[in-house]
Structure formats: C-alpha cells, structure tokens
Amino acid sequence: MTKQIIKAAILGATGYGGIELLRILSRHPNVEIVAASSENSAGKKLSEVFPHVTVKHDIILSKLQDAIKVPDIDVVFTALPNGEAMVIADEVLKTGVLIDLSADFRLKDEKVHAAFYKMKHESPHLIESAAYGLPELYMDEIKSARLIANPGCYPTSILLSLVPLLEAGVIEAGGIIADSKSGVSGAGRTALKTPYIYAEANETMSAYAIGTHRHTPEIEQQLSKAGAGLAVMTFTPHLTPMTRGIYSTCYCNLAGDKITNDEILEIYKDKYFNRPFVKVLDIDTLPQTKWCSGSNNAFLTARIDRRTNRVITLCTIDNLGKGMSGQAVQNMNIVFGLPEDTGLFDIAIYP
C-alpha cells in the first residue's frame, strides 16, 4: 500500500501561525512541504531565519507569487494578514485546497465583514462555499469543502463551550457573556507596537477592544446557527502576561432550573465522544492553559451556579494550536480523508 503524500505550501511562513504550521507539518507522516513564502526573507534558507527550526530537509523561502506556482500543490495554508488570502483564493483553488488562517472567509455576511475589517471583499463569490473549520462542530461541511475558513482563536474556545449547550436547549440564547483571556502571542510576530514590547506587556493585565472586537460577529454567527432566535452576546477579551494560551470563561442563563451539573457534563461528553482533542473535565477539575501548550488539545468543563441559575463554562486552548495552526492541520486531515489526529499527537509541554 502506498502512503498518501499531501504536498503542502505555507504562505506567510515566518509569522507565528506559519512557524507553528512548520513545526507540526515537518513531522506529519503524510505531508511534504513543497513551498513556504515570506516576502521579507525570500531567498533565505529557513534555518537561517529560524535556527531553531531543525527540519531534516531545509526549505528555501520564496515570494508568495512564486510559492503558489510550485506545481502539484495539494493544499495551501494561508497564514497571511487579513485581506490577502481573498486575493489569491481563486488561483489557489484551481489546483488545490485552501485552508485560510485569516478572517477572510469566516463571515457569511459580506457587509458585516466590511464593517469589522474595514475592507472590501475581493472574492465575495467564494464566501458561501467556505466551510467554517471547527471540526468538532462542523465535520460534514469540512469533509466536502475545498475552501476552509479556519476559526479565530477566541471563537474556537467559546463555540466549543456554548454550541453543545445551545443545541441541547439547556441554556438561553440571550444574555451570554464571554470573558476571555489571551496570551500575548495572539498579537502576532509583527506587532511592533509599544503595548506588546516585553517591558509593557509583562506583569500586567488589561481588557481591550470592548464591544468592538472583530471576533464578536464570528462568534454570534455560529451561535445563531446553533440556537434559533439568538440576538447578541457580550465579549470581553483581556491581554494576559503569558506567551501562549486562551482561557474563556462564559456565563449563560440556564433555560430551566432542573438540569444538574452532571447532565451538563454529559452533554459535552456526548458531543465530543470519540473526538481526540476536546477533553471534558469532571466536576473536581478546572482547566489550565498550560495543559494545552504546544498541543491541539482543548480542555472544557462547566459549573452550575444554582443560586443565580447560571452555568459557567470554562475552556482552555493554545491560541497557536487548537486556536490556529493545529486546527488548520486537523482540517487538512479531514479534507484529505486521514484520521483527524494524524500528526497531531503532541502532548502539552509541561511545565
């Protein structure tokens, strides 16, 4: 039996999404990396730019336009700034699958996209066909898709927490709050702004983008799919002094007053039964972001606050793993008919 080999290109290989894709794909048993682009470092060997990337076969970085012209590419990962994947999507899709780590194809409503991302969509005709790449929730759509909109990091942690409960009808669609905390790597490698330098971001915590964060419409769009009549939710992101990790604490009103905490956890366990990456924690354990570092795992649990008739859901992921590049590889596995955890067996680095 011949082993399936997927030829992959990584566009934007020197940002944090790209570096993490390189780390994962370089050890993936079914992947050959045939191109990696970086506008600033084109022509250099990967090992020159990142001495720590000790891959067996060194890669020469190329310009994006050269990278996508490499013949027989099966899958292109775009780890580019927002607005760039949409420009090349048609060309890429002629020959291969496109897994886009940016926000270009996440929002179904072109006008909402324009309002939040301050740009005109260059490929509106492709939006409808893009699958929202959160495999634990939308497996079937992903299986048959050629264009995957890889979810945002915050939405991944929040949707994994809320969709099963909305679908089960145990929480109200209205009144949901998501209070999320993210490590600083979420700002990216090119975030050369004062708030992100070490001396400013270290030893401090701060909320940001209250009421305006671009992930809000993405979360609301998917929540609406899960629970009819959903209006709106409140999302408050916070910057946290750690490199990796997202912690999402959500507050939901229970739809009735009968459901038990065990039943809530059962809903999660049923939903994520036999899925390798979402670990449902029992009543005696609360998740930590460190448990996800460098892995594609999510840890999830919930606690009922009987006095206020609420459920508090708690979910941790690595923002660069399940929140970004790990999930992108999981999507690739599914599209190409591989077991979804192929090449994604990493346990978190601990401590």
Asked if 252 interacts with a copy of itself (CB under 8 A), we say no
Q: How far apart are CA 96 and CA 4, in angstroms?
A: 15
Asked if 242 interacts with a copy of itself (CB under 8 A), we say yes
Residues 276-335 that bind a copy of itself (CB under 8 A): 276, 279, 281, 285-295, 297, 299, 303, 305, 307-308, 310, 312, 314, 316
Q: Which is nearer to a copy of itself, 149 or 184 (CB)?
A: 184
Q: Which residues are CB-neighbours of 183 under 8 A, at least 6 positions away?
A: 240, 242, 243, 244, 245, 246, 289, 319
Q: Which is nearer to a copy of itself, 224 or 236 (CB)?
A: 236
- 234 Cα distance to chain centroid: 20
Considering the candidates 153, 250, 252, 292, report the single residue annotated as catalytic. Answer: 153
Among 96, 135, 155, 245, binds a copy of itself (CB under 8 A): 245
Q: Are 214 and 103 in contact (CB under 8 A)?
A: yes
Q: How far apart are CA 111 and CA 85, in angstroms?
A: 18
Find the shortest distance in angstroms from Cβ 228 to a copy of itself: 18
Find the shortest distance in angstroms from Cβ 167 to a copy of itself: 22
Strands (E), 79-132: 97-100, 131-132
Q: How far apart are CA 284 and CA 269, in angstroms?
A: 15
Q: Beta 206-207 vs 177-182: how paired, if at all? A: unpaired
Q: Give which of 136, 130, 171 is closest to 156, Cα–Cα.
A: 136
Asked if 187 interacts with a copy of itself (CB under 8 A), we say yes
Residues 79-118 that bind a copy of itself (CB under 8 A): none
The mark string for 38-57 relative to a copy of itself (x by CB under 8 A, - otherwise) is ------------xxxxxx--
Q: Is 153 a catalytic residue?
A: yes
- Taking CB under 8 A as the binding criterion, the range among 16-24, 87-95, 151-159, 165-173 that sits at the site for a copy of itself is 16-24
Q: Which is nearer to a copy of itself, 139 or 205 (CB)?
A: 205
243: number of Cβ within 10 Å: 15
Q: Which residues are catalytic?
A: 153
